[in-house]
Structure 1
C-alpha cells in the first residue's frame, strides 16, 4: 500500500502586494490573501481536483485557511485546523506572538472548518529556525501515521512546508524543496520509505513570484 502527503504553501498575501496594509491592520501578522492570491488558491484547487485526498489540514492563520478553503470547496471536504503547521513564530519578523482570528470567528467565515478537531502539536512564540522545522516535521509524521493509508493535504507556510517535508524525507528536502507561494510538494510513502516526487511544483499557476520568500 502507498500513501501520498501533499504539502501546499498558502497563496499570495495582501501585505506582499500592499506593504502599507501592515501599518493600519488590526491583526498585522495575520494578513488575508490578496486578490491574485485568491486566484492562485483556486488554481491549486483545480490542480488537486482529481487527486484522492481524504482529509485537509491547515495552519490556523487566515491566509492558509483561505487557501485550504478553496481546495475544500472543490473536493467537498472539511478543514481541520492544525497549530503544528503554523507560521514560523520568528521574533525577528514579529515583535510579539501573532494575534489571529479566533476559532469561532474562522468557523463563522468558513463553515467547512471542523470544530471537533483538536490540534496535535503546539506552536509557541518565540521559535528558532530549528524549532519550527522540528514541530512541523513532527506534525507531518503524526498526521501521516494517523491517517494511513489515506492521502492527505497539509496547507502551511514557507518554513513549515519545508519542515513538514524534512520530517518525512529527511535533510534532502532542505536542498530540494522550493516553497514558493502556492507551490505543491508531493511526498509518497512506499512501504516504509518516503519519496519526494514534487519539490515545489508551480505548473498550475498563471502568475508566480520571482523570489522565494519564507515569510
Structure 2
C-alpha cells in the first residue's frame, strides 16, 4: 500500500518581522508566529483539509506548534510533539540551550496536544549540522514506519524539513527541496521506494518570502 508523508515548515515568525523582539523576549530562541504567519498557517490548513491525514507531528517550538495547531483545528486531529523534528540547535544561532515551554504548558494553550505521546527521537544542545540531519532523517523514517500505511504530517523547521526529506528519499532532496516558510514537501511511498512529489510547494500561500532563510 502507498503512504503519503507531508512535511511542512512553520509559517513566518515574529522575530523575522520585528527583529527587536529578540532583545527583550523571555524565550528569545522560541518566537511565536507573526500576524502574517498566522494567516499562512491557516492557508496551509486549508490546503491540507482533503488530504486524508491521520496523524500530525510537530517540533515542540512555539512557532511549529502554532502552525500545526491551525492544521489540527481544520482536520480535527491531535498534535503529537516530536523533539526529533526540532530546530537545528546550532550554537552559532543560539548562544545557549533554547528555553521553550514544557509540554503541559503548551497543552494548556493548545488543548489538541496529545500529552500521552512520547517523543521517539531525542535532541541535545549543541549539535552539528550532521547530527541534526541524522536525527531529523531518523525521525522521519521512524514515524513513517511506525504509523504505516497512514498518511502523516510532519511540521518542522527549514533544517529539519530538509533533513526529514533526505532521510526518506536520499541525497536528491538536498538539491531539490526548497524549504521556504510554510512550504509543503510531499513524499509518497511506492514500495520499496519513496518518491518526491512536491519539493517545497507554496501555491497555497498569498504571501511568499523572497529570500529563503534557513532556520
The 5 Å alignment of 1:46-195 reads: 46-195=46-195
The alignment yields a C-alpha RMSD, in angstroms, of: 0.4
CA distance in 2, matches of 1:176, 1:101: 34
Q: Distance in 2 between matches of 1:86 and 1:123?
A: 7
SS of the counterpart of 2:199? strand
User: How far 1:30 sits from its partner (Å)?
Assistant: 0.2
What stretches of structure 1 of length at least 5 have no aligned partner?
A: none
> When the two structures are aligned, how many residues end up with a matched partner?
215
SS at match of 1:53: coil
Give the structure 2 partner of residue 11 of structure 1.
11
User: How far apart in 1 are the matches of 2:114 and 2:214?
Assistant: 28
**1:120-178: per-residue Cα shift (whole Å, max 9, x none)?**
00111111111111000000000000000000000000000000000000000000000
Residue equivalent to 1:24: 24
Q: CA deviation at 1:104?
A: 1.3
Moved over 6 A (4+): none
What are structure 2's unaligned runs of at least 5 residues?
A: none
Aligned-pair distance for 1:19? 0.1
- In structure 2, what is the equivalent of residue 203 of structure 1? 203
Work out the CA distance in 2 between the residues paired with 1:161 and 1:142. 15
1:183-204 CA distance string (max 9 Å, x none):
0000000011000000000000
Residue aligned with 1:203, SS: coil
Provide the C-alpha distance between the structure 1 equivalents of 2:200 and 2:133, rounded to a whole number of angstroms: 17
Normalising by structure 2, we get a TM-score of 1.00
1:42 alignment partner in structure 2: 42
